[in-house]
Structure 1
């Protein structure tokens, strides 16, 4: 298992390469909550999401061959791997599905990586990436189902709890499970962690009900960041043992949360980045009186014409 000590070591390893993103207290009225909510603004991380944490931890703790690195992604992970590879002097080939947003594809290209857009869904891009890795010998950096990725993503919790002080509950959006499993491993018993998924893309909820990872259909506005077909095997094991609760939210609530963040703070979030907040605003997660709640805003890579 991935211990808090492993995540602390990952944090020390990647600190020179990542941003220490800010935490902001929002008044409770914003979320129909009686106390201020701690918002971790991880959408201000390099490339606009939490993903560089896992990308840098992979590239700094593993041997990168001459063939460079490769990754499959809905967009954010690919942008992060491309950014980390460029920073560390490696070439990269990134595979994304056709549902990947233009904003995310542009970030991958701008980082200097070779971009391959193919397949209808993330699973299709992953199959192409795996074939390329076998052919080329490049280092494959998995978006969520790898210990190095999970440990890197867990460093966001190390920062957050240091900045915000004691919190009772953290709300975290879930795609393939790398972020929430890293946060669970980092937090231990310091607070409860609640998983939030779109109703149309809920691979963790389905896995918890089935007692194992299962394939799901994906149909959500957040599909380009929370569109994994199945929860990762390692994230599932960590969530099975440590997760406090799992909830789902409708697309309408996600869109409302995106617009609320813009209207109140003039901060742009992508749909996946606003999903955790949607659980509070929609009433899917109802805190107890005085409960100290933290919400992770994890991604900013939205196509603005769909938001404003």
Structure 2
């Protein structure tokens, strides 16, 4: 950053936001992950914002933005659009401040997030098939009615509120070398970078700030490379909290100046990270909140040193969790589905079951099919779901089946 660059949010703004939030939000805990620390070769800490009010960091920025409204603006009410976390943050802040809130959510929004937003007292209107369509409708409603539009990330107050997370981390992990978090529109990353980089300069030390995106929803890498906003044509990721096709203008102006890097992770890496958090840390985190953990597990952040990872939210639909856990088990070699063609004669299935049992694997489901386009007369197709113990064990099971004359094809 050059000396003449004037950024839209400063450390003073973040510190002022922290005073506004005093007594309103929780100072969420920091938990050390020794298991992940062993993987990366340094101390790793989780900033558990999944335990924040309304289940994510979003209430920080929403409350700061709305607390600064005039009495006349508060009387007009607020409007927002979100698939979940921003909606709940706005709803909680509005209830606390006595402001009427209308939230536009896409038609396919997860039922737990819809119910939670209504439960916090907001009026919810379902509109559009994605967040962008809901956002456009919310802006139209604001222009038509005079309600104050509360943007999820493209606002100085929102950025300053999210930046208070950075101040907390510096207090809880004073020797931190790297802070990692997910990034969608960029409000959280921009706010944390603003606070952390300014404090690091005062302390005379370097602290890296790294953003992480799902590779199928990664608008920041091309935008940073072009030094201009580059919208994505398509966004497809389980991490709905960061499924943003176009960076925010204000966050982008900060991120390109202050953030050290923005990296990406695959969907399989995300699924593995969620299972790791459940099994090893006993933490329920939504996919968007787990991308930083995925990045460390995949080794895409070299030499991070003492690291703090922001687990930005825990609002996950149980049905999505079921699918993610299954995908994560497949990705880590702990679950395998194979399809085998064999003669339709007595004893064939029993022989396969014996081989699998002798390989110390466990059959969880069998599908036995005699009819289908690829199945010849006298043949049968068997699809078997098998619980395994890792990729090497998968290969052992497959090798044992082949050694007995079978030709298993892995379908998952």
Shorter-chain-normalised TM-score: which range?
over 0.9
- Secondary structure (helix, strand or coil) at the match of 2:255 reads helix
TM-score (norm 2): 0.72
Say whether residues 1:298 and 2:312 are aligned partners: yes
Over the aligned positions, Cα root-mean-square deviation in angstroms equals 1.3
Please identify the structure whose Cα radius of gyration is greater: 2
Say whether residues 1:205 and 2:221 are aligned partners: yes
- Secondary structure (helix, strand or coil) at the match of 2:47 reads strand
Partner of 1:114: 123
Shift in Å, 1:119: 1.1
- Secondary structure (helix, strand or coil) at the match of 2:22 reads helix
Which consecutive segments of 4 or more residues in structure 1 shift more than 6 A? none
Say whether residues 1:225 and 2:274 are aligned partners: no
Partner of 1:256: 272
Partner of 2:100: 91
1:236 counterpart (252, 260, 269): 252
Report which structure shows greater RCO (CA 8 Å, sep ≥6): 1
Shift in Å, 1:229: 1.8
Task: State how far apart, in whole Å, the 1-side matches of 2:164 and 2:36 are.
Answer: 29
Shift in Å, 1:128: 0.2
Task: State how far apart, in whole Å, the 1-side matches of 2:193 and 2:35 are.
Answer: 25
- Secondary structure (helix, strand or coil) at the match of 2:89 reads helix
Partner of 1:277: 293
Partner of 2:44: 37
Task: State how far apart, in whole Å, the 2-side matches of 1:218 and 1:116 are.
Answer: 23
Say whether residues 1:154 and 2:163 are aligned partners: yes
Task: State how far apart, in whole Å, the 1-side matches of 2:79 and 2:246 are.
Answer: 21
Task: State how far apart, in whole Å, the 1-side matches of 2:89 and 2:74 are.
Answer: 19
Q: Is the 8 A contact 1:70 1:139 kept in 2?
A: yes
Q: Is the 8 A contact 1:49 1:299 kept in 2?
A: yes
Shift in Å, 1:31: 6.1
Partner of 1:192: 208
Residues 280/138 of structure 1: CA separation in 2 closer, same or farther (3 Å cut): same
Shift in Å, 1:66: 1.8
Q: How many residues align?
A: 305
- Secondary structure (helix, strand or coil) at the match of 1:20 reads coil
Q: List per-residue Cα deviations over 1:86-138 (Å, max 9, x = no partner).
A: 11111100012234322211111101111112112211111000011011111
Say whether residues 1:103 and 2:112 are aligned partners: yes
Residues 287/61 of structure 1: CA separation in 2 closer, same or farther (3 Å cut): same
Partner of 1:164: 173
1:307 counterpart (307, 321, 333): 321
- Secondary structure (helix, strand or coil) at the match of 1:272 reads helix
Residue range with higher mean Cα deviation, 208-217 or 126-135: 208-217
Residues 155/29 of structure 1: CA separation in 2 closer, same or farther (3 Å cut): closer
TM-score (norm 1): 0.96
- Secondary structure (helix, strand or coil) at the match of 1:188 reads helix
Structure 2 gaps of 5+ residues are 1-6, 201-206, 323-412
Shift in Å, 1:241: 0.6
Task: State how far apart, in whole Å, the 1-side matches of 2:43 and 2:37 are.
Answer: 9
Q: Is the 8 A contact 2:36 2:44 kept in 1?
A: no
Structure 1 gaps of 5+ residues are none
Counterpart mapping for 1:13-24 below 5 A: 13-24=20-31
Task: State how far apart, in whole Å, the 2-side matches of 1:143 and 1:270 are.
Answer: 18
